Every structure is written in C-alpha cells, then in structure tokens.
Chains A and B, each alone.
Chain A
Amino acid sequence: MTGAAPAPAPAAGLRATARIRAAADGRGGTALPLLAGEGPLALRRTRATRPEAGVVLVGAMSAPLGGDHLTVEAVAGPGAHLALGSAAATLALPGRGGEPARYDVSLTLEEGASVRWLPEPLVSVRGSDLRVRTRVRLAPTARLLLREEQVLGRSGEAPGLLRSRLGVTRDGRPLLDQELACGPGAPGGWDGPAGLAGHRALGQLLVVDPAFAGAPPAAAVLGEFAAVTPLAGPAVLVTALAPDALRLRELLDSARATYGW
C-alpha cells in the first residue's frame, strides 16, 4: 500500500481491490466464501432470493480520484449465482497530479454459474481522467446480465475524459470487445454525428444466455437512439444513447424486462 509514505505524495494514488467468490452451497443456494472489500470498495451482503447470493458495493464514493487504481474481482464457481450491484453512482474525479485513474472489473463465470452485474452509473466529472476496463470470462454454460451506464458530467457540467473497454470472452473466444473514448482529450469527433451527437448518457445491457443459441432474440430498434443487436454468439446487446441518466435507465430497464432476468 502507498499509505506508509511519510510525506504527502500527490502522485501516488490509492490502490484498492475488492474480491468476491461465490460458490454453490450444495443445498440449492449460493455461499460467499470470499467477501473482502478494501478502502473505498466496501462490500455488503444483501438479502437475495435463492439460489442467488447478493452483494453490493458501498462506501463513500469520493473515488476514483486521478491516480487511484480500483479493482473489483468476482468469481462465480460452478453452479453459483451472484447478483452484484453498487449502492450509489461512481464519480470519476480529478486528481491533484493530473494522472488518470483506473477502474478494473473482472468477472469469471464457471460452468452453470450466473452473474448479474448491475452497478449504478459512472459519472465522468469535469477535469477527471478515468480508464475503465471490464473483463468477463464465461464458461459455455454460464449466464450473464451486465449493465453499464456512463454519464458525461453532473447536471449541466462538462465531462472529463473517459475511456472504457468492455471485453467478454466465452469458452476462451471473444464475444464482445468494445472501447469507448469521450470527453475533452478523446480522439476527434467523439461528440459529433458519428459519436455521441450531443447525448450525455450512454449505456449498454448485455445478456449472455446459452438458451439464445437455439432462439436468438431478433435485432430491433428502440427509437432513433437505441438498438437491440444479437451478437455472433448466444448473446444480445442493447445499446442506448439518451439525454440524461434517467431516460437511459428507463430504456435499459425496459430492455432488461424483455431479455434479462
């Protein structure tokens, strides 16, 4: 840890990792043999309906600040079912040294496991610089429901720089790999007619379900700025742009009611 430094070290950010392991308890439920938060990444068990175990990330979310490196690692063992959420929105804030912050999420789903990763929105605050990396590895029989919501700036505020990559593999093969860069300092055109076109909230809902192999959901458009796209594997991705976080959530909630669980 960096906390032992004798003098204030503005360049050294905070490093924290939250680790979760879910395992089938053999009685039709899911146990949590590992539930270890750290620093601003505190973990709480929540009431969940069997066979699912519920975990929520809580804490004074004054992080990530520039220079911080936060990591969430969750493993759902064979036949385990995990619902993972967050208590509040995550604010990406500027650091003192101007260096980027990192937020890594790693989800591993073993045979027959399911994970619902439904965090609250990520808000990119003016002056911040955050790199998000989400990696999901699924066994062929695993099921995933994943939501990502990104909001550019608090109400009426200009955004920071946000770079986010979502990579999902299934049985070791790439299923989805997408990288988004927006805000001041992002490559040109990010807010233009081939970019966000002035929208300030964007989100994705990904559902991976082996049952889709036989009957994949059909492609569909949900108005002018949202679409349902079946992927090249048993999965469907809903992508939406919206003027604000509220409208975005409405769109993704209705998609979740149709395709998720």
Chain B
Amino acid sequence: MSLAALLVLADGRFPAGGHAHSGGAEAACKAGRIHDAATLEDFCRGRLHTAGLTAAGLAAAAALGLDPAGLDAAADARTPSPALRTAGRRLGRQLLRAARATWPSPELDALAAAFPRGAHQPVVLGLTARSAGLGPDGAAQVAAYESVGGPATATVRLLGLDPFEASGVLARLAPDLDAVAARAVAAALRARTDGTDALPAASSPLLEIAAEVHADWPVRLFAS
C-alpha cells in the first residue's frame, strides 16, 4: 500500500465535497447535544462505531473488488433516512468526479456509467482506493477517519470550538479508529464468501432521526 496515496485520499483538501457536510454535527450542536470538546468526542465515538463502521465495511469490500451494485444495495438497506441516502449519493458522485481525474481506471468509469445519479460514497471510496493502489485496510481507515473528521471540522465552524481541541479529540480517537478499520476489513473478507450480510450494519437511530429533522430546516450551514 502506498502511504502517499493514502495521504492524498484522506486529505481534507481532496476536492470531494465533504466540507459541505457535518455528519450530523450541525443538528447535534443546534439541539445542544454537542456543546464542547467532551461532547464532540462522545458524538464522534458514537458515530464512528455505528455509521463509521458500516461505511468502513462497505469501503473495504469495494476495495476488495466485491460487486459495486450489490454493495450499493447493501448501503441503501443500511440507511433508512432518505436525507442520508441522498447525501450519500451526492457525496459519492462528487468523489467519483475527483477520483476519475486523480486515479483514472476502467472500474471507476464503469461505476460512473452504472450509477449516473451517484453510488453511495463508501462504495465509491473503496473503488477509488483500489484505483489508487490501496487495499481494503486503506479504504477502511479513510472511511473511519472521515466519519469523525467531518463532524470535528464542522463543530469548529459551528461552535467556534478551538481547532486545537478538535484535533485533540481526533487524536484520542486513534485507537478506536484502528479497531473499527480492523473490524471492517475482517468483515469485508468474510463478505467475499458469505455475501453482504457479513458486512457490519451498525446504526444509530438518533443520527437517522436527526438527519430528517435537519433536512426540514429552512436554513442550514451544512447539507447534512
């Protein structure tokens, strides 16, 4: 695995549109559930072990070369909230544009042809990692990191939280991030023989509910 390719893909400046999404942090800040570094950390840990683990499993499976259409259907089933399904496909479409320009490959072209309205972001992420020469572990690490990096960055903007504190939160999550990525890869390896049922389906009811509440707001800073 190329560490440099991993850094390029995980870089917040990689033009994949993620900065427009808060990963549920905007709704949680407005409701007062995130109000400082400690509550941000608790939020990120909860999101990592639910939505983050599920995304990492899908990304790792895509990086292993499992059928993207099957993985996309598995992502739909793991995302009850239509607001989150829409956000996931929009992010997938934006990532695919950036990925095809950065690491062109026939697999990415085929994915774009099969999903003109966008495939779910973790599926695109896994195939992007594959095109960049990264394995399932790289794909899972990036997916897990994105599941907490987005909310941490958004909270700096939403609450004016000290960026040093936000970085400290992410650093303290490192052991959890590694553990989640390892679980995701193990599940993806099982999914090669047992199908997508073997992938994690960890979910957070509150994140799904809050995404629908957030989508109802007339004015918001972040798309999700």
A contact residues vs B (CB 8 Å cutoff): 165, 167-168, 173-181, 187-190, 192-197, 202, 204, 219-221, 224-232, 237, 239-241
Q: Kindly list chain B residues whose C-beta atoms are within 8 Å of the C-beta of A165.
A: 201
Q: Kindly list chain B residues whose C-beta atoms are within 8 Å of the C-beta of A227.
A: 81, 208-209, 212-213
Is the C-beta of B99 less than 8 angstroms from some C-beta in chain A? no
Is the C-beta of B168 less than 8 angstroms from some C-beta in chain A? no
Is the C-beta of B171 less than 8 angstroms from some C-beta in chain A? no
Per-residue CB proximity of B181-224 to A under 8 Å, as 1/0? 00000000000000011001111111111001101100000000
Q: Give 23 A-B contacts (CB < 8 Å), ordered by A residue.
A: A167-B77, A174-B73, A175-B77, A177-B74, A177-B78, A178-B78, A179-B200, A181-B49, A187-B53, A188-B45, A188-B49, A188-B176, A189-B43, A189-B45, A192-B43, A193-B42, A193-B46, A195-B206, A219-B212, A224-B213, A225-B209, A229-B81, A231-B77
Interface residues of B in 73-99 (CB under 8 A from A): 73-74, 76-83, 85
Cβ–Cβ contact A241 & B205, under 8 A:
yes
Interface size class of chain B, counting residues whose CB lies under 8 Å from the partner chain: 35 or more
Cβ–Cβ contact A176 & B77, under 8 A:
yes
- Whether A237 contacts B80 in the complex (CB less than 8 A), given A194-B28, A221-B216, A227-B209, comes out as yes
Per-residue CB proximity of B60-79 to A under 8 Å, as 1/0? 00000000000001101111
A41 vs chain B, min Cβ distance (A): 25
Cβ–Cβ contact A189 & B77, under 8 A:
no
Q: Kindly list chain B residues whose C-beta atoms are within 8 Å of the C-beta of A194.
A: 24, 28, 42-47, 50, 204, 206-207
**Which of B28, B79, B203 has the most chain A CB atoms inside 10 A of its CB?**
B203
Dominant SS among interface residues on chain A: strand
Interface residues of B in 117-139 (CB under 8 A from A): none
Q: Kindly list chain A residues whose C-beta atoms are within 8 Å of the C-beta of B49.
A: 181, 187-190
Bound CA–CA A203/B96 (angstroms): 36
Q: Kindly list chain B residues whose C-beta atoms are within 8 Å of the C-beta of A190.
A: 46, 49
Q: Kindly list chain A residues whose C-beta atoms are within 8 Å of the C-beta of B39.
A: 192-193
Q: Kindly list chain A residues whose C-beta atoms are within 8 Å of the C-beta of B166.
A: none
A238 vs chain B, min Cβ distance (A): 10
Bound CA–CA A129/B77 (angstroms): 26
- 4 tightest A-B CB contacts, nearest first: A189-B46, A194-B46, A193-B33, A192-B42
Q: Kindly list chain A residues whose C-beta atoms are within 8 Å of the C-beta of B45.
A: 187-189, 192, 194
Cβ–Cβ contact A229 & B208, under 8 A:
yes
Q: Kindly list chain A residues whose C-beta atoms are within 8 Å of the C-beta of B46.
A: 188-190, 192-195
Bound CA–CA A221/B209 (angstroms): 8
